Every structure is written in structure tokens, then in C-alpha cells.
Structure 1
């Protein structure tokens, strides 16, 4: 499966959420209940949240880091590689820094370990 990208995207593998998010996948869905189908959607492998500006995406990265996810590896004080999360700018067609587990193709992203398959986005999200 694949997820549609819009503006600036914050993406997390569902497996990571199941393992590291306090309360797992079901708690994550409960915590984002009011956003699902709006700025949040997901497929069988990826969870997507998003924003229209870097400050809001930065807040998401910080928030998920406080929840226990390893957001990025630093190098010389700067992020060098996404680890448990990935930020993708749709207009520029890719991750803001390298991300080993995510593949992007225009306005679409999918987990590299699985086929691209059906596209899930705001317009066809069924939850």
C-alpha cells in the first residue's frame, strides 16, 4: 500500500508505533481520533500526519521524540538520518534527510519492505 503526500508529511511505520508508542497502535488511533481523515491517514504499514509549515512539523518531531521514538541520528550537532520517523516535503519529492525505510515517488510514499499497491489519502481514506 501507499500513502498520499501533501505539503509537509510526518510518517511513522505502524510497526514502530506498535512497539514504541505508549499504548501501541490502538492508543495512537485514540490520541489522533479527531485528526483521522483530515490531516492524518494510514495504510497497513505507514501512519501519516502533516502540516503546512516547518514549525508545526518540528513540533510533531519533538512530540513523538518525547513519546520515546528515536527520531533521527545526529552528526556534528545536526540531524543526519531519520530513524523511527521521516519528514517528507511533497513539493520537493523526498525526505528532508535520508530515510532508509521509505520510498517516495512524486506525491506518493510507501514502505520499502512492501509493494506500493493501493494509494490511501484524504479522499479515499476509510479508516
Structure 2
């Protein structure tokens, strides 16, 4: 995991579920992270969870001639009680800031990938072989 000039190594367990509904698709991910190393200082026992979801649905602005969809993403970062008590509020805030920057960069990367795929799909019928 990278965030600006900082780096962390961790073991992660990820569970992903997808729910398809008539008017939307929902993807839910829960990532559990176990001992991490930040800036080469071992943080023994650092454990946290990232719970995220992404929802795609048709936009109210969508018409049969001009289809528009929306992508909504949300993530919640939480530390276990032992980690919070051991590290204190200043260290927890620094770690949260690190994780937020890292998650934002990943979300931007995913958004760019989705937008590129949609543009490729939209331009495909117009390409001349």
C-alpha cells in the first residue's frame, strides 16, 4: 500500500460480494488488515478493517437516446479497540490520514479504468475496420 511518499506492508483478507438488483448493481468488499509496517517501523498488532461498497444505477437524467449511469462509492475505516488503546489518538489519526489518501488513490484509479472502458465501448461502433 502506498500513500504519497509513505508505504505500508500488510497481510490482507478480502471478501467481495456482488448483488444484482433490477435497478442497480451493488458490490460490497470487506478487507481485514493484519500487522502492518509503516515507514519501516513495525507496528505490532495493528489491525483494521476497511468496509466499502460501490453502487451503479441508472441516472434520473438518462433517456433512451442518451443513457447515463451513476457510480457511488463509500468506504469506512475502523481499527480494533486494542489498536486504538495501544497507539493513542494522534497515531490513529495519522494512520487514518494515510489510509484515506491510499483509498482515494485506488478509487481514482478504479474510476479512471471504468471511464476508459466506457469510452472504449462507446467508440467501438464508430470505429472503421
Q: Is this a same-fold pair by TM over 0.5?
A: no
Which structure's residues are more often strand, by fraction?
A: 2
- What TM-score do the two structures reach when normalised by structure 1? 0.27
**Higher Cα Rg: structure 1 or 2?**
2
Could you say which structure has the greater relative contact order, defined with CA pairs below 8 angstroms and 6 or more residues apart? 1
Which structure's residues are more often helix, by fraction?
A: 2
- What TM-score do the two structures reach when normalised by structure 2? 0.26
